[in-house]
Structure 1
Amino acid sequence: MTWLAELRTAALVGTARHPAPPPPSELGVRPPDGLSSEELVLDQAALADAVSRSSRESTTLDAADLPEPAPPDDAPIASDTAARLLELLLTQPPVGQELRDLLVADWLQLAQAFGRRVPHRLLPVLLALADTKPGVAALLQPAIGARGRWLQDLKARGSDLPAASATDWEELKSADATKELERLRKSSPAAAREYLSAHWETLGARERAAHLGTLATNLGDDDEDLLERALDDKAKVVREAAAGLLDQLPASARARRMATRLLPLLRVKGVLRKQFEIDLPSEPDAAALRDGIAPDPRSGEPDLLSRLDTVVRGAPLDVWTKASGRSPAAIVALLKSEKRVLETIRDIAALRGDGDWARALLELRLDLRLLNCLPQDEREETLIRHIRASTANPFALATPLRDMPRPWGTALAEAVLEQISAKNGGQLASMLADVLPAALPPQAAEQARRLLERSDDDAARRRVLREALQYQSFRQSLTEAFP
């Protein structure tokens, strides 16, 4: 009896009476480990269908075109319970799509923590999900094991952009060259800078500006020489790109030159009521023009405030402390009436990740960029303070809350749940619907349950709280499924 005939018999009379046959050795495959007899029949039925379909094709493959067999998987497979939960999430999720994606990501993180891998039979559907869900794709390794990496390599073969070299750089299209530089800056900033420097003269102005922008990734003092070179470029778009990047390097030569220009413009006046007095810059000389300060227009009055903005952006922030002898917090208090200058300082403090200035400026207004300059625990404390003091519009809280690492601390979770339970809290709950379930720590589940049990006509708020509790319950099941 042939393999196909035996397989049909097993399917018709049941595996208890006729076990599933092994695949023919000519196919060079073997069943996945850990399958039940029923799963073996279904697995081989899928294999038989693929073989039958391929046998009807007239095209033949050369042996050289065939991939190498998958290497053995040494990592232990996840427990049956964990595997069933993952299969449920991938094929028949009992929760909405957003929660499903979060729980699949949780499963992968737990598998990594316990050194377990995904069952082979679930790899195709998991990899298909990862194709459209970056949050899942980022966590595939190492949980997919050697077989999963083998499948990824097969899928990606021939689709990856090759790394540029000194000989093939000119063959890349402009957009592809920019993508290659962006990729290279993440892994080897110096190599990307050297490629750009070596090919600088062969590029058009727009290409030079676009490629120069990739230096924003892992920008550092070693990039200063190339940026100084770009300040002398004939194209304005290139000079502006270089100046914008140098704004982020407070120890650069350009920053020192800007400090020399800014310091004489600043002074503190007043006896009982101190305030900053800021003069406007004079007409720029050749050196100032090179550093990006705007020249006088051909007609009309020069924009002196824009010139001041450029100088402030380019100078180190410690110029302000030197000019006044005061702390960032005291300087911010003195500058409350200088809203434009304060906004420029806010921009540059965020760009440079200056924690001291971020703390001072956050006392005036909640700003996600500044919040990201602080350590996580301090970010949470700052958010809690703004929530408790009602200094921020509840809806302005949504963006920084979405950006916070998850799960939140217990105090932050409690403050947010209190905000959600307020009169108009349903709208904030809706804005946080896709992050709140994973953001709430297990300790906050009881508070969320009490809120849900209240009589409430706000359907959006009830839905978000219900999904949060569903997530917590399923997440607990995942945790218990791993050893």
Structure 2
Amino acid sequence: MSGNTTLPKSRDGNFWEELVTVALLGTDRRPVPGLAAGQDAPVALLDAAAVETVRRRAGLRPAPAAARPEPAAEDARPPLPPAAARRLALLLADRPGTGSGGRRGTAPDLMELLPQWLASANARGYAAPSEALPALLDAARGRTDLRPAVLTFAGPRALWLARLNPDWRFALRAAPGGGTGLPDHRDADRARKLWEEGLFTERVALLAAMRAKEPDAARELLESTWATERAEDRLMFLDTLRTRLGAEDEPFLERSLTDRSRNVRATAAELLSALPGSALAARMAARAGSCVAVDHTRSGPVITVEPPHECDAGMERDGVVVKAPAGRGERSWWLGQLVEAAPLGSWSAWLGGRTPEEIVALPVADDWQGELHAAWCRAAVRQRDAGWSKALLGEPSVPQAAGPGAVSLAERAKLLATLGTDERSAWVAGFIAAHGLSEAFQLLGVCTVPWSPALGRAVVDALNIARDAGSYPWSFSGVMGLAERCLDPSEAARLDALTAVPEEVEGASPGAGGYWSEAFQRLVTTLRLRATMWQELSAP
């Protein structure tokens, strides 16, 4: 402060606000309070502000100290092996934009390996290192697909941190009961208290947790307050019954068919149709059976279809939606819903004792085949019927347009998901061997990781064929990325020969050879890194 400046005294609580106002408006437009004659206004303002700042700090009354947070719960799981902990730090440090996460070059995309690393660490029951928790939560904040695995790996300490940092609150929302801890499913009194007094998210989490362990108790808890619940809440609660759905749920679901909410009625009907022995399934079977028959008067057996002429009150009660979507005929719309909800096991008896393969191979009169087969596809997915799924998929070598049932890759992917792991991989391997990779990406997504040896060979062989043909390489970048994450690491040695730059063939895309070499080098490097990662996690 200047030595010859006379400072104004603080006169009341508004003095600081006056100084701030002068600073905002300027000393030319508003005088400095207490300015003495001959003083330079800007200097006087700054000196006054400095003195007032000291006064405000000196006069501040100390407040009571805030309570210290309770310590985080102990995590009794074993710690990561040191090499695996170092690997985790490297995976978390590789973020988009740091240079190593791009798709060009031979360096592995570490962030894309993080989900597999987390799954493996969780399968082995390791606890996350304390120092890695902030980076894990930041990674899960940016990628919702990581959240379940991250929260499992991070354990109770992640929830403790999330209560202290608003950026990590998603962890509390994702945790059962909002991170508050749910009562044991055997503690009926605490469970009922939480059910009757808890927040909506806590109630959903409680119902889901109970359903996984005591499905009947969960349903009875839901029934106890069903009449007083809001429609949107009833819908969410009803959806939890998909877990361990059984015949014991039928009476409650049957009563829900008369619910005042259309969405609740539709969900109840869908769940009942997934129970082949339910009364609703029998009613739908009778309706569907009256619409589909085999005509033996022609040169060979032909399926004939006579869709319903109306959607009566009984059909509507059982979940049939009356109004068809735009561009869809009403009668075909009703037929599809009836066939979709009918138990697949009943078709053999109605159609002459034929197997699913024989049924889908029959010709269908009057252009009804697409509608009928699409409904059977939806039924096979809903009822998880592997026999019908295999019949509708047909042989993988058959062109898509000539297949017996499924007419789109999306439908085929859903049907494949109902098959066992080995059957699924074998079918997709056969499809790739016959049709290449141009349409296989969606089908590969439903195959178990790591891919079976046969599926891995089919993918690599198809990539090699595309490489030798000089095909446009960027068209296969998605499949190559899948291969990096899904091929068995033991395949790396077999791929070394593909890392060289191939000779350019006539008509090849410019620069294709270099790209293919680069991509295969990245694939080999990634597979070897994955093998190292599993060794690190398996270390004693």
* TM-score, normalisation: structure 1: 0.72
Are the aligned partners of 1:420 and 1:426 in contact in 2 as well (CA < 8 Å)?
no
Residue 101 (1) aligns with residue 111 (2)? yes
> How far is 1:88 from its partner?
3.2
Counterparts of 2:110 and 2:393, CA distance in 1: 36
For residue 345 of structure 1, what is the aligned residue in structure 2?
A: 376
Post-superposition CA distance 1:121-140 (Å, at most 9, x none): 44543454355456655556
> How far is 1:426 from its partner?
3.0
Distance change >3 Å, CA 461–CA 398, structure 1 → 2: farther
Residue 151 of structure 1 is aligned with which of 139, 157, 160? 157
Counting aligned pairs with the same residue, the percent is: 29
Distance change >3 Å, CA 109–CA 200, structure 1 → 2: closer
Counterparts of 1:124 and 1:311, CA distance in 2: 52
Post-superposition CA distance 1:295-352 (Å, at most 9, x none): 799xxxx932222223212211122211121110111111565110110110110111
More moved, 374-383 vs 87-96: 87-96
Q: Structure 1 unaligned segments of length 5 or more: list them.
A: 1-56
Q: What amino acid does structure 2 have at the position aligned with 1:466?
A: Q
* Secondary structure in 2 matching 1:369: helix
Are the aligned partners of 2:270 and 2:319 in contact in 1 as well (CA < 8 Å)?
no
For residue 403 of structure 1, what is the aligned residue in structure 2?
A: 446
For residue 463 of structure 2, what is the aligned residue in structure 1?
A: 420
More moved, 115-124 vs 217-226: 115-124
Are the aligned partners of 1:407 and 1:440 in contact in 2 as well (CA < 8 Å)?
yes
Are the aligned partners of 2:133 and 2:158 in contact in 1 as well (CA < 8 Å)?
no
Q: Structure 2 unaligned segments of length 5 or more: list them.
A: 1-61, 103-107, 165-171, 183-189, 395-402, 505-510
Post-superposition CA distance 1:374-409 (Å, at most 9, x none): 11111011011111222xx84431122123221111
Residue 256 (1) aligns with residue 259 (2)? no
Residue 247 (1) aligns with residue 252 (2)? no
Larger Rg: 2
> How far is 1:257 from its partner?
1.5
Are the aligned partners of 2:342 and 2:379 in contact in 1 as well (CA < 8 Å)?
no
Q: CA RMSD in A?
A: 3.8
For residue 38 of structure 1, what is the aligned residue in structure 2?
A: none
Post-superposition CA distance 1:196-231 (Å, at most 9, x none): 322221134444334333433443323222211111
Q: What amino acid does structure 1 have at the position aligned with 2:88?
A: L
> How far is 1:116 from its partner?
6.5
Post-superposition CA distance 1:221-280 (Å, at most 9, x none): 232222111112234333222222222222111111222223333322235422111223
Counterparts of 2:493 and 2:360, CA distance in 1: 41
* Secondary structure in 1 matching 2:65: coil
Counterparts of 1:326 and 1:396, CA distance in 2: 32
Distance change >3 Å, CA 242–CA 478, structure 1 → 2: closer
Are the aligned partners of 2:495 and 2:520 in contact in 1 as well (CA < 8 Å)?
yes
Distance change >3 Å, CA 150–CA 231, structure 1 → 2: closer
User: Which runs of structure 2 are paired with 1:127-206 in the superposition (5 Å)?
Assistant: 127-133=137-143, 138-139=148-149, 149=155, 151-157=157-163, 159=172, 160-161=177-178, 166-167=192-193, 169=195, 181=207, 185-186=211-212, 188-206=214-232
For residue 308 of structure 2, what is the aligned residue in structure 1?
A: 281
User: Which runs of structure 2 are paired with 1:254-333 in the superposition (5 Å)?
Assistant: 254-270=280-296, 272-283=299-310, 286-293=313-320, 303-324=330-351, 325-333=353-361
More moved, 103-112 vs 325-334: 103-112
More moved, 203-212 vs 371-380: 203-212
Q: What amino acid does structure 2 have at the position aligned with 1:152?
A: A
Are the aligned partners of 1:231 and 1:239 in contact in 2 as well (CA < 8 Å)?
yes
* TM-score, normalisation: structure 2: 0.65
Counterparts of 1:112 and 1:165, CA distance in 2: 28
Counterparts of 1:451 and 1:402, CA distance in 2: 24
Distance change >3 Å, CA 140–CA 235, structure 1 → 2: closer
More moved, 342-351 vs 69-78: 69-78
Post-superposition CA distance 1:421-450 (Å, at most 9, x none): 325473453223543212111343244433
Post-superposition CA distance 1:37-81 (Å, at most 9, x none): xxxxxxxxxxxxxxxxxxxx976233xx442377586836514x4
Q: What amino acid does structure 1 have at the position aligned with 2:160?
A: L
Residue 384 of structure 1 is aligned with which of 429, 437, 442? 429
Residue 439 of structure 1 is aligned with which of 481, 486, 489? 486
Distance change >3 Å, CA 123–CA 294, structure 1 → 2: closer
Counterparts of 1:73 and 1:169, CA distance in 2: 30
Are the aligned partners of 2:118 and 2:149 in contact in 1 as well (CA < 8 Å)?
yes
Counterparts of 1:417 and 1:466, CA distance in 2: 13
